[in-house]
Amino acid sequence: MYELTIDTHFAAAHNLRGYEGACERLHGHNWIVRVYVQATELDDIDIAIDFKKLKSETNKVIERLDHYYLNKVEPFDKINTTAENISKYLYEEIGKLINDGNVRVSKIKVWESEKAAAAYFE
């Protein structure tokens, strides 16, 4: 099994619905995202997935969040904009673009600050 990772980031505002405390107020983060990908086989030039493709497909999803008020972006207009939910959303959406039977997203980790992160994997 091969594992690859890329790191990226986005900036976005949000507030947590139903939370009692400062995070219920509008605020923003510079979110850091780590994408973990696994592959069972390498291609004919010994690459699992081209990093260029992985970055490009990831950025297609990140662009939906970057510099937006997340509470107005689907599906976060209905579910809370927690790091947990953001990591699951990225897992599913990036997976739709790159999972192919050999390569698959295996985990997404999202940091809302230098010291606080949430991950999603199956």
**Contact indicator for 35, 111 with CB cutoff of 8 Å:** no
Which of 14, 23, 24, 92 is catalytic? The answer is 23
Which of 3, 24, 63, 67 is catalytic? The answer is 67
112 classed as catalytic: yes
Hey, what are 26's tokens? 């509008």
Instruction: Concatenate the DSSP letters of all residues of 27-84 into one string.
Output: EEEEEEEEEEEEES---TTS-SS-HHHHHHHHHHHHTTTTTSBGGGSTTTTTS---HH
14 classed as catalytic: no
57 classed as catalytic: no
Q: CA–CA separation, 111 vs 84, rounded Å?
A: 10
Question: Which residues are annotated as catalytic?
Answer: 23, 67, 112
